Amino acid sequence: MLNLKPHTGYDLKKYLDTEGRFMRGVHLSQMYRTLKSMVAEGWITYDVEERNGSPDMKRYRVTAEGKEAFLKWLKSPYEPSFRFMEGDFFDRFRFASMLDREEVIGLARQELAYRRGNIEKFRHRDRTLKGLEPTDIVDPDRIQLFFDLGHEYGASAMDHYVAWLERTIERLEEEAQTVQAQ
Amino acid sequence: MLNLKPHTGYDLKKYLDTEGRFMRGVHLSQMYRTLKSMVAEGWITYDVEERNGSPDMKRYRVTAEGKEAFLKWLKSPYEPSFRFMEGDFFDRFRFASMLDREEVIGLARQELAYRRGNIEKFRHRDRTLKGLEPTDIVDPDRIQLFFDLGHEYGASAMDHYVAWLERTIERLEEEAQTVQAQ
DNA sequence: ACACCCATGTAACGGGTTACATGATTCA
DNA sequence: TGAATCATGTAACCCGTTACATGGGTGT
């Protein structure tokens, strides 16, 4: 975010709780510690604005080294995470404006291919729970029902994700062709 | 899972990586430490099966106190998490077979109401990035584009979740009426 | 022969969560 | 008057990740 414009820690937290709430959550305590360590790394600096009585306000901005380190990460090989939505795909994708068109499309295609492989591998597995303790008061079919309903959501959320990836790739490909034609 | 039947640590990890992969991920090292601490709490015990040479296999099962503690958690008041998919809704829902019909429907309704409130609060916010550094080589519109695409996924994933909640509640309500009619 | 599966763990590290601490301004 | 917002942080704790360590059985 500091690549786009300067922020205070409080600002960033607020953004992440409102407009940017699908990015990630963060606690203020963690925010301040992270900013501190990023200053120590040389990735960011800050200007101080004094406020009467209250602690001074620090407005952070990225340094040249910080931007370089960020780009190095952004352009580093992407490894899809085994588990749906756990890796850094969206962290990269949101800053895809700093990548070439081919790089973005490559990133999205890689993610799509991995998710499709995952679906192929797991979708048609038998998920019936075997050897359930018969001593239980609860009906095994009812146990299975809620496991199935929960899994159903997971699987359909994955499908929804794949559909979004497909739409997005198409859109980016069309755009790339339009630009090339000019 | 140990409420349903005994498992070894390795078993549980394997389940969580295959059939149960939408539940949660866990590393084996963490699994063994958690099982150890649960034994210390008195929630679970294990029987040992010897294997020549290799370390003995421990098959864990829940104790009466463990089951009691689990049910206490399952029936404790549910607090929806601010951030989509971060709380323990699904942890509870998957074991809803151990709850009364009204309790399950109440849980799902509470989650649905919270998500709807969230959508109402945030859906129509202006998300245009203001005060972007003009020194950047990257076009502000292009920065905005990828932020929007990312947000679009988040918002539609939330809608998808809400739709699943609605379908599921309907289904459970119908079932409850059928049972009552008998 | 080599890789993968079964099956157990410990140790160090890193980072997120919760609790604590301060204090001015704004709005109902 | 009291709650929420602005704005900063430290300390302790917990828990997840990564690296290390062991060793037999099974399949190609």
Q: Closest residue of B to A154, CA-based? A: B22
With a 7 Å cutoff on the CB, does A51 touch strand D? yes
**A5–B133 C-beta distance less than 8 A:** yes
Q: Which of B1, B16, B18, B19 to mutate to test the interface with A (most CBs of A within 10 A)?
A: B19
Q: Which residue places its CA closest to the C1' of nucleotide C15?
A: A30
Cα gap A182→A174, rounded to integer Å: 13
Tell me the shortest Cα–Cα distance from A143 to chain B, in angstroms.
5
**Rounded mean pLDDT, A71-89:** 96
pLDDT tens-digit series, residues B167-182 = 999 999 999 899 888 7
Scanning the structure block, which residue is given the tokens 């699908």?
A22
Q: Closest residue of B to A130, CA-based? A: B5
At A48 the pLDDT is 96
At A135 the pLDDT is 82
Burial of B178 (0-12, 13-18, 19+ CB in 10 A): exposed
Percent pLDDT > 90 in chain B is 90
Is B11's pLDDT higher than 90?
yes
The answer to whether A100 and A74 are in contact (CB under 8 A) is no
Cα gap B140→B180, rounded to integer Å: 60
With a 7 Å cutoff on the CB, does B26 touch strand D? yes
Tell me the shortest Cα–Cα distance from A169 to chain B, in angstroms.
11
